[in-house]
Amino acid sequence: MAKKEICCIGAGYVGGPTMAVIALKCPEYNVTVVDINKDRIDAWNGDTKKLPVYEPGLKEIVEETREKNLFFSTNIDSAIERSEIIFMAVNTPTKEHGEGKGMATDLTYVEECSKRIAMASKSHKIIVEKSTAPIGTAEKIKETLKANNDNVDFEVISNPEFLAEGSAVNDLLDPDRVLVGANQTKSGIKAMNQIVEIYNNWIHKEKIITTNLWSSELSKLASNAFLAQRVSSINSLSSLCEESGANILEVSRAVGADSRIGNKFLEASVGFGGSCFKKDILNLVYLCQYYGLNEVAEYWHQVIKINNHQKTRFSNRIILELGGTVKNKIITLLGWAFKKDTNDSRESASIEVANYLLNQGAIINVYDPMVSSKLIYKDIEDILNVNGLDSTKIKSIINRVNVFDNIDQSINKTCCVAVLTEWDVFKTLDWDKISKFVEQPLFIADGRNIIDQKLLNNKTYKYISVGT
C-alpha cells in the first residue's frame, strides 16, 4: 500500500522540526519539506551536525527518518501535486512599507505560496496554516487559492505552532496543547479531523483543542502577548528594585509562589527577543487599532515599549559603570542568540545593546557557541542600515566589531563582560582565570541573572545584574 503524502512549504525553524517529528511519529506518511532556498535544503540533506536549525534532539530525529519517510527538496510543484495535506510554514514578517507599516503582518510570502499551491494542484488539498498570521489570513488564503484555481476544492485549516526555540523538539513530542481551527462546515470539519488524526498518533486527544478559524488565529497572538506581557511586567519592576533596594529575584520568587500566578516567565532580564513576541504583539496592536479599540491597542503596545526601555536602560548602566563613556573601550558580549539552545538571533537583545554601545564609540567583542560570525556581522549591518547611516560610516562601525570562536579570545583586554544569552556554559565560567586576561577591575554586567555571585570571590570584580 502506497504511503500517504504530506508536503511542507518552508524549511525554517517551524517547518523543519515540525515535519521531522511528524515523520518520526507517522511512518505511514511520506513527509517532504520544500523551500526555494537551495542552500538551506542542501544543509538539511547534508551533515546532520550542521543542520540549518539547531535544536537539541533534532539531529537524532533527522538521522532516523531522512530518506526513509522524511525528504528535503527544492522541487516544490512536484511535492504539492502529489500531496493531499500541505503545511504552510513561510515567513510572516512585520510590514516595512504601506498601510500598517511597522505593525501589521506582511503576508507577501503567504500570498505567493498560496498562488503556487493553486497553480500546481490538480486534486483536493488541505492547506494547513502553520505560520503565525493575523485573524482572517486563512480566509484570504482560500480566496487566493480559488482565484487562481477554481477547478480544485481547497480546505484551509489553522494549526498555529507553539514552539519555544531551544526546546522545540520536546514541545513537539509532548506539547501543552495542539490547536486546530477550521470553518464549521461539513468539509471544514472533515479536513480538521484529518489533521487531528495525524497528531493522535502520539498526542492524547485531550490535549488537542478544536476551534473555528478566527479563534485559532487569535489564540496564537494572544498566547505570545500574554507571555511577553509577563516578561515586561517583571522587567518593569526590576528597575524599581534597583532604585529602592529591593531584590527582583526575591520578588519574583514571592510572586511566583502564588498559585494564581505561577513562576514561569518571571525572570528579569535585559529583555525578550525572538521572531514572535514583538511581531505578534505589534500585529495585535494593529488589529485593535483597526477595530477602533485604541485603549486596548495602547495597553498591548506598552509591553513593547517596556522591552525596548529595558535594553536601553541596561546599556546605559554599563556606560555609567564605566565612567560615563565607552569610547574606544573593549566590551565583550557573551551570547548573540536571543535565547539559549538556538542559533536564531532575530530580535536578540544583543543586537540592540551592541548597536547602542557602538554608537557611543565602544569596541565590541562577541562570542556565541552557536550563532555564526557571518550572521552576527549581518545583524549589525542590518540594524546600522535601519539607522540610516551611509556605507562609509557603517563600514567604520563594523570595523569596531570582533567575533570570536572561543571565550578566551573574546575577553582578552576587555574592561566589561556583558552576559546577554543564558547559555549554560556562561553559568560556570572561571572568573579568576578570566581576570588574568582583562583590564582591572573587571566589570561584569549580568543581563540574564545567571552568574553565581559566590564565584566572584575576588575584590577586583565589579558586578551588576538586573533588578538587584
Residue 164 maps to which CATH number? 3.40.50.720
Residues 309 and 173 in one domain: no
The reported pLDDT for the residue numbered 462 is 87
Assessment of whether the complete model's pTM goes beyond 0.85: yes
Give residue 462's Cα distance to chain centre: 32
Residue 289: C-alpha distances to residues 198, 277, 294, 437 (Å):
38, 18, 5, 53
Q: For the stretch 178-192, what's the b/e string if a residue is b when 16 or more beta carbons lie within 10 angstroms of its beta carbon?
A: bbbbbbeeeebeebb
Structural contact between residues 153 and 124, judged by C-beta atoms closer than 8 angstroms: yes
Helix, strand, coil share (%) of the chain residues, nearest 5: 45, 15, 40
In-domain check, residue 152: yes
Residues 275 and 168 in one domain: no
In-domain check, residue 446: yes
Closest CA to 414 of 431, 392, 435, 429: 435
What does the pLDDT profile of the chain (468 residues) look like in tens digits? 678 999 999 999 999 999 999 999 999 999 999 999 999 999 999 999 999 999 999 999 999 999 999 999 999 999 999 999 999 999 988 888 888 888 888 999 999 999 999 999 999 999 999 988 888 899 999 999 999 999 999 999 999 999 988 999 999 999 999 999 999 999 999 999 999 999 999 999 999 999 999 999 999 999 999 999 999 999 999 999 999 989 999 999 999 999 999 999 999 999 999 888 999 999 999 999 999 999 999 999 999 999 999 999 999 999 999 999 999 999 999 999 999 999 999 999 999 999 999 999 999 999 999 999 999 999 999 999 888 888 899 999 999 999 999 998 999 899 999 999 999 999 988 888 887 778 778 899 999 999 988 777 666 688 999 998
Q: What is the sign, positive or negative, of the torsion defined by CA atoms of 424, 428, 434, 440? A: positive
In-domain check, residue 110: yes
Residues 92 and 137 in one domain: yes
The reported pLDDT for the residue numbered 322 is 94
Residues 349 and 255 in one domain: yes
As given in the structure block, the three cell numbers for residue 193 are: 479531523
Residues 38 and 168 in one domain: yes
Residues 24 and 88 in one domain: yes
Residues 384 and 412 in one domain: yes
Q: Which residues are part of the catalytic machinery?
A: 276
Tally Cβ neighbours within 10 Å of residue 95.
18
Non-local CB neighbours of 313 within 8 Å, separated by 6+ positions:
239
Residues 63 and 188 in one domain: yes
Residue written as cell 477554481? 150
Residues 107 and 255 in one domain: no
- By the 10 Å C-beta count (0-12 exposed, 13-18 middle, 19+ buried), 89 is classed as buried
**Of the residues 162, 191, 211, which one is the last residue of a structural domain?**
211
The reported pLDDT for the residue numbered 97 is 82
The reported pLDDT for the residue numbered 432 is 81
As given in the structure block, the three cell numbers for residue 90 are: 513561510
Give the domain range for residue 430.
222-468
Counting the structural domains of the chain, the total is: 2
Residues 269 and 412 in one domain: yes
In-domain check, residue 216: no
**Of the residues 211, 233, 267, which one is the last residue of a structural domain?**
211
Residues 32 and 169 in one domain: yes
In-domain check, residue 217: no
Residues 281 and 430 in one domain: yes
